[in-house]
Every structure is written in C-alpha cells, then in structure tokens.
A and B are shown apart, each in its own frame.
Chain A
Amino acid sequence: MQTWDMDLEELKEEETSLPGSKLKTELLTVNMGPQHPATHGVLRVEIKTDSEVVAQAIPHIGYLHRCMEKHCEAIDYRGILPFVDRLDYLASMSQELTYSMAVEKMLGTEVPRRATVIRMIISEMQRIASHLMAFGTYALDLGAFSPFLYAFDEREKILTLFEDISGARLLYNYFWIGGVWNDLTDKNVEYIKEFLDNFEPELVKYDRLVSQNRIFQERTMGVGTLSLADAHSFGATGPVLRGSGSAWDLRKVDPYLFYNEVEFDVPVGEGQRGSEIGDCYNRYYVRMLEMVESVKIIRQSLKLLEPGPTLGKVSKVIKIPKGETYTRTECPRGELGIHLVSHGEKTPYRLKVKSPCFTHTSILPHIAPGQMIADFVASIGSIDIVLGEVDR
C-alpha cells in the first residue's frame, strides 16, 4: 500500500533534478473539506499538490462517526432497524433489507411470498432513487445544475410512494423482521406503473442531456481509471467493480429474494462511447444502465404479486440463538454485509457493518495521484460515497 508514498518521493526527486534549476520546490497542501460542496458530506481530503496536479491525497474520515455499532450492542433487534436506516440514508430500504435478511437467516423465519415480492419492488425503486441522487449530484459536481433539479423531481415521485406506504420520507423503517410493515395497495401498484411509464422517457432525456454531452464526456473519460485487479484487491463492489469490467452482481451470482425468477442483465463498463474501462464515465454509465435494468425488474416483479400475508410469524420478543452470520446483499452502492454475532440474548453481541462506501473511499488515494484537482472532484463523485455509511 505504499503506492502514493512512492509516487511522492519520485515526484520530489524529479523536481529537484530538473536540469539547470536550483530552485527548491515544495508541495502545496490543500485541505478539502470537511465542509466542501463537492465532497458529498463531511469527507476531508488532505491534498498535496504540485501546481494543479494532485501528488498525494489522504482522506480523513470519521467526521460522522455516530457509534452505530456500539448502539447495536444495547438495543433489541427491532430497535436496530431505525439505526440501520441511518447508515446509508440515500438507500435506507436496501440497508433494512440486509439487516432483516440477516436476522431472518438466524431465526429461520420464512418470509411470505407477497412480502418478498414487495421487498424486491421497493428495493429496486430505492435503487432508482439512489442512482438518481448520484446522477444529480455528480452532474452538480461537474458544474451542471439543471440535471440536479430533474433528478430530484423524479426522486420526489418515488419518495411520495415510499411515504404513502411507510409514513416517512427518508428513513422508512418499512422492512420489518419477517416481512414488511404495510401492504402495497392497488393504488400504489397503479402509481408504480404510471411512474415507470413516465420514467423511461426521462432516462432517454438524461442520456441526451448529460451522458452524450461532449463537455461531460471530456470531464469524465479517462479520469480516475481503476484497473480490474486493483478493484478486486480493494474489495470494491457494486458499480465501481462493474465499471471496471467485471460482471459481478450478487443478484445474479447468489440470488436472494426472487431475483432468479426475473430476467435482467448486469451492466458492465465496456468502454462505451470511447471511454477507458474503469474510468469515471464507466462508473457513471453503469449506474444509468442499472436504472434501466431496475425498471425491467420492477415490471416483471409486479406480475409476481399475489395476494397473501405480508408479515411472517415472529415472536414478540426476538431472541436469536447463539451463533454468527455474515449476510450480504447488493445495495445501490455495492455489497453491504452484516456480521451479526449473537449470544442468545435480546440484543446482538456484536454487529459489524461492512460498508461498500468505506471500501470505496479507500480507493481514492490510489487513483488520485497525477490528476488535476478538478478531476479529483470528478473521481469522488463517480465513486458516489455516503458518509453516513463510511463512518457508521
């Protein structure tokens, strides 16, 4: 992991050995964050720059360390759900899904079929909402303001649906252990269908507005390239790994819910439109293609909806027998894993969250050296981190 240190030393040698130059140069340290419009929260990056080229970037995290894992050791299994919500606040439903699947796996609870289908629909809707947010803020980072407004416009429609079924706008507490809280009514199903019909032309619009935009392409193509071997070694998952050219998707590789009953493709970064494999454009473009796939999945799973109960049999006080598990699902930002250790009590003995954003933030020092500062902003945006999940 010495890569950037070596880069720094090489750079210094190069500078001092310039022919005919007796000037001693020093690297300039620029502090980016914690309050910075382009760091997606409270990430602080200490950048050592040589003129405008980043020589070394050291991310400092922990500005949103909310001690979630410590809380989980003292709270009962149902009460943890609101805390799990607050990890990745842009994709709360997906986080809840992982946690409730982990607890159900330990308890051996069977989730009713209707609840599972609802979970699938809602988590794919959440994926669309999360990717819309990533799309909007990424365009905002690169200087385009109106995509942000369009993306929020569509996102609000999804939030309206979520509010209708769960009662809250952002942190839902909707996927309970054993099923879902409220049923999806016919009105909601109609709403989803109507939304999907309106959403597909919007995607074409985003494609013409941003993805095909020459300026956007110039800003992102060939920037922040991450090779496949490095992505594996970093443990990268989700759009970051797929942008580097691997078709690893947990929904295909290890299907949970009913992902084996629906048909969808795994979008992979293939250097579309003349970009390099693994650069910012590919990571961004994989997200855009995933939204198309999500629309496909939702359409198919709406057909799977059958009447039935939505909450399985779970005792009032949940006690998990001794044991431990590691459960992971494919969240919008990558694989979220939950390592749950139980000692047969009402509270978990230990709950460790493997957050994809934490892993992806550690990639930043690797891809930063040699970029312009403005390109570094593009790199942060393309990785799409949520600091609540990085720091937990």
Chain B
Amino acid sequence: MRDERLTFFGYFRNIYTAVKSSLIGMWITFRYVWGKKPVTVEYPEVRDVLPDNTRSRLYNDALNCISCNLCAISCPVDCIYISSVPRPKDLEVPKCDDGTPKRQVLTQYVIDTALCCYCGLCTVVCPTECLTHTDDYEYSQYMVEDMKYDYLTDDLIAWRDRIVKT
C-alpha cells in the first residue's frame, strides 16, 4: 500500500525481501522440529498437577455444616440454597470436627453448579471450612438437571470419604 515508485532494482529488492523474510520465518518454525520439548499435556493419561487453592467443583461436607448461611449470602449469583430448622431443645447439640456446636438442623443444602461462577467467595467465608473447592473438574452431564447437587443425598455424603483429606 505504500507509495513507492517501483524502480528496476526496487522490483528485485522486493522479491528478495519477501523471500528472505519468509525463509527466516520458516527457519524459526523449522527449529521446533528438534531442540524444543513438546509442551502438550496428554490429558486423559497425564494430568497437570493443580495447585492447592484451585477452584473447581464445590463440595459441602454436610456433617460439619452449622447452617450459618454465610455462603448463601456471599454468593454473588445466588446458586446456594440452604434451609434449616432450630434444633429441638430436648436433643443434645452435636459438635463439628473443630468444636463448633451445630444449633440448627440442616434440612437442605443444594448448589446449582450450572449457575456457579467459581469465584471462591463462598469458601473463604465458611467458618468451619466445610465448603471447599475440590480439584475435580470432570463432571460433564447429559442433562442440565443433573448439575444441581443436593449435598444431603447418601451418595454425595459417601463422596466425602474420597474428597475430604484427613
């Protein structure tokens, strides 16, 4: 596009620079054949080591939850649904692993992971650290309804043994 008057030598200089810059580019690319380590992670067989604070699927250890509602309040997208009832007075108050008394009976703990934005705001406010981000990211589903996880169902409570490191 530049306004250059094309001279006889300019014509050949153009050809020379074009060929030269192409060859330089090809040489840079060609050097990748040897001498460079492949960077590809062969995913299903080899996995990257994720850092400790990685933010993937949420898991609530319902047995340690004191139904404080802090996570639901801090969630910017309102995808955590908790309900609880006060514990009847005639029953003794159980304690969490770290000694916090559970004054409420948790009756529902649902997270809709199809809405979650994985911001991590809910896990930092959790007083008993029962709500955590796990490093599990492989949970694609065929149905969108399956993405709503009720953490009081038996299979998810059983999942605790695999997730929670003691």
Give A contacts to B, CB under 8 Å: 75-76, 78-83, 85, 144, 146, 153, 156, 163-164, 166-168, 171, 173, 182, 205, 208-210, 212-215, 218, 221-223, 274, 375
Q: With A146-B29, A168-B55 given, name 20 new contacts (CB 8 A).
A: A78-B121, A79-B76, A81-B119, A82-B76, A82-B117, A83-B76, A144-B25, A146-B25, A163-B51, A164-B51, A168-B120, A171-B117, A173-B119, A182-B53, A205-B28, A208-B28, A209-B28, A212-B21, A212-B24, A214-B14
Taken together as a complex, chains A and B put the C-alpha atoms of A221 and B51 apart, in Å, by 44
Taken together as a complex, chains A and B put the C-alpha atoms of A381 and B51 apart, in Å, by 35
Scoring B18, B21, B29 by chain A CB atoms within 10 A of each residue's CB, the highest score goes to B21
Which chain A residues lie closer than 8 Å to B29 at the CB level?
Answer: 146, 209
**B2 contacts the other chain (CB 8 A):** yes
Which chain A residues lie closer than 8 Å to B121 at the CB level?
Answer: 78-79, 81-82, 173
In chain A, what residue has the closest Cβ to B76?
Answer: A79
Q: Could you list 16 examples of A-B contacts with CB < 8 Å?
A: A75-B76, A81-B119, A81-B121, A82-B77, A82-B121, A163-B51, A164-B51, A168-B120, A182-B53, A208-B24, A209-B29, A213-B21, A213-B25, A215-B22, A222-B1, A274-B2
**B54 contacts the other chain (CB 8 A):** yes
Are B25 and A79 within 8 A (Cβ)?
no
Residue-wise interface mask of B (1-25) relative to A, using a CB-CB cutoff of 8 A (1 in contact, 0 not): 1100000000000100110111011
Are B76 and A221 within 8 A (Cβ)?
no
Q: Secondary structure at chain A's binding surface: helix, strand, loop or mixed?
A: helix
Q: Quick one: given A146-B29, A167-B55, A208-B28, are A214 and B1 in contact (CB under 8 Å)?
A: no
Taken together as a complex, chains A and B put the C-alpha atoms of A164 and B54 apart, in Å, by 8
Q: Quick one: given A163-B51, A214-B18, are A221 and B1 in contact (CB under 8 Å)?
A: yes
In chain A, what residue has the closest Cβ to B51?
Answer: A164
Scoring A85, A144, A214, A223 by chain B CB atoms within 10 A of each residue's CB, the highest score goes to A214
Taken together as a complex, chains A and B put the C-alpha atoms of A83 and B1 apart, in Å, by 43
Cross-chain contact of A163 among B20, B28, B54, B119 (Cβ < 8 A): B54
Are A221 and B2 within 8 A (Cβ)?
yes
Taken together as a complex, chains A and B put the C-alpha atoms of A274 and B133 apart, in Å, by 54
Which chain A residues lie closer than 8 Å to B120 at the CB level?
Answer: 167-168, 173
Taken together as a complex, chains A and B put the C-alpha atoms of A97 and B64 apart, in Å, by 36
**B74 contacts the other chain (CB 8 A):** yes
Taken together as a complex, chains A and B put the C-alpha atoms of A171 and B121 apart, in Å, by 13
Which chain A residues lie closer than 8 Å to B21 at the CB level?
Answer: 212-215
Q: Quick one: given A164-B51, A205-B28, are A80 and B76 in contact (CB under 8 Å)?
A: yes
CB of A262, distance to nearest CB on chain B (Å): 28
Taken together as a complex, chains A and B put the C-alpha atoms of A75 and B120 apart, in Å, by 16
In chain B, what residue has the closest Cβ to A206?
Answer: B28
Taken together as a complex, chains A and B put the C-alpha atoms of A212 and B133 apart, in Å, by 47
**B118 contacts the other chain (CB 8 A):** yes
Which chain A residues lie closer than 8 Å to B55 at the CB level?
Answer: 167-168
Scoring A79, A171, A274, A375 by chain B CB atoms within 10 A of each residue's CB, the highest score goes to A79
Which chain B residues lie closer than 8 Å to A164 at the CB level?
Answer: 51
Taken together as a complex, chains A and B put the C-alpha atoms of A223 and B1 apart, in Å, by 7
Which chain A residues lie closer than 8 Å to B143 at the CB level?
Answer: none
In chain A, what residue has the closest Cβ to B39?
Answer: A153
